[in-house]
Amino acid sequence: MSKLEPVSQAIDEFLALCISKSVNSVVVALSGGVDSLSLLHSLHHRIKQSSHTISLSAVYIDHQLQAGSEQWAEQNRQFCESLEVAFEAVKVDVDKSTASLEKAARTARYQALSHFIADEYTCLVTGQHLNDQAETFLLQLLRGAGSKGLSAMPGWTEFSKGFLARPLIDIPRATLEAYCQSHGLEPIEDPTNSDTDIRRNFIRHQVLPLIEEKWPQAVKTIAAASDIQAENQQLLNELAAIDFENCFDARMDALLLDPIKQLSPGRVRNLLRYWLDACGADMPSQAVLEQIQLQMLDAKEDANPKIELANGSIRRFRDALYWVKDTVQDYSELKLKWPANSDLTLNSQLLIPLQWLKQNYPHLVGKELMVRGRQGGERIRFEKSQQSISLKNYLQEQAVPPWFRAQVLLLEDGNEICAVYCGSFK
């Protein structure tokens, strides 16, 4: 049996999956390396032999980090022209000040690639293979990652408006190298791939070869372990979803502490990871999660602790946990006229839905109102026959968290505040 058979077999299985999901356009993320080169070449030939019509194109992302990147773009262009495959090169700007240049480059790359996946009938394909799977597992293991970080890269997943697939994820690098050699393909050699000061390269060139001397099937075994971790993570996610449903208050957009305190410590940390991931927060370490438990769950009842993370903070207020983004909207300087006969919007953003006014202050519908932000010291009178009350006291009674009060909108009728819009907190 030919060593090349696994590549063709993997591509055939991928194409069958495309057909079953009505995918009719495949976009290859082409770096020109041994993996993406063999991927594009095999896809081109297997699609030509298929009775189904599937369009094939390739995109080269130039991170502008290597002196030869423009030359590589041209080399990839020529290769695509030889196959009569549509090609496009895209330059991206990578944040070089970040702690992880590899992560910043990956973020920029996938953001650029997402623009090519315009609908549910389009699939992006990347060239990750079995060795990549094993290397990633070891990298994450040495970083102290949990099940999520140790989980295998999926072979098929949703991406942008369509899908992302890794058809070669079960194929060893050696098989892809043999494929390229057999077909006379000349992969691009990125000089940084041999730099063992880069941790992934150190694992690739130093650690894994040494392990394989004693355990020849190590790459396959490690990749299998990552598959098991992916299953474990799925179970943890299902458990967290159950706990989230029991502990999350949608009206407050917060986690309630009373039901959380009924959970075991490990289950609490699992719920916190699930919640923070849903909020788009950078995942904290195990040590930080333990601090969240200590400071947030065990704090005094009247305490309002705050834990800063990379892109926001976790805050406790009145027996609930809130995720607060760094970029919170401040309406304190806002001042708008509102005829109150349709939704109030600003720069195409919904500020106050008319339905809210109809439900809470029907007597104000259709009136010429002034909407402004909170300055401090205001008083409010809901009915002309009532005494005015302090807005500060009202917000406290409504359990509006202190950090949210700059987003409160005040409705004036005849220079008197007669209604308060507190968003999700009212």
Residues that constitute the known binding site: 31-36
Does the CA dihedral 337-342-346-347 come out positive or negative? negative
- Cα 377–Cα 379–Cα 380 angle in degrees, nearest 5: 150
Q: Taking the C-alpha atoms of 377, 378, 379 and 384 in order, what is their torsion angle to the nearest 10 degrees?
A: 160
**DSSP per position, 359-371:** HH-GGGTTS-EEE
Element (H, E) at 99: none
CA–CA distance from 287 to each of 43, 49, 229, 342 (Å)? 45, 54, 21, 49
- Tell me how far apart the alpha carbons of residues 76 and 188 are, in angstroms, rounded to a whole number: 9
Residues at the binding site for ATP are 31-36
- Tell me how far apart the alpha carbons of residues 299 and 321 are, in angstroms, rounded to a whole number: 12
Q: What count of residues does the chain have?
A: 426
In sequence order, which residues have a C-beta less than 8 Å from that of residue 376 and are 6 or more positions away?
392
Q: In the block, which residue shows the tokens 């602790």?
A: 305
User: Number of C-alpha atoms within 13 angstroms, CB side, residue 345?
Assistant: 6
If you ran DSSP here, which 8-state letter would residue 283 be given? P
**Whether the Cβ atoms of residue 123 and residue 25 lie closer than 8 Å to each other:** yes
- Tell me how far apart the alpha carbons of residues 352 and 344 are, in angstroms, rounded to a whole number: 5
CA–CA distance from 9 to each of 85, 141, 181 (Å)? 21, 31, 18
Strand 25-29 and strand 55-62: pairing? Answer: parallel
Q: Which parts of 22-94 are beta strand (E)?
A: 25-29, 55-62, 86-91
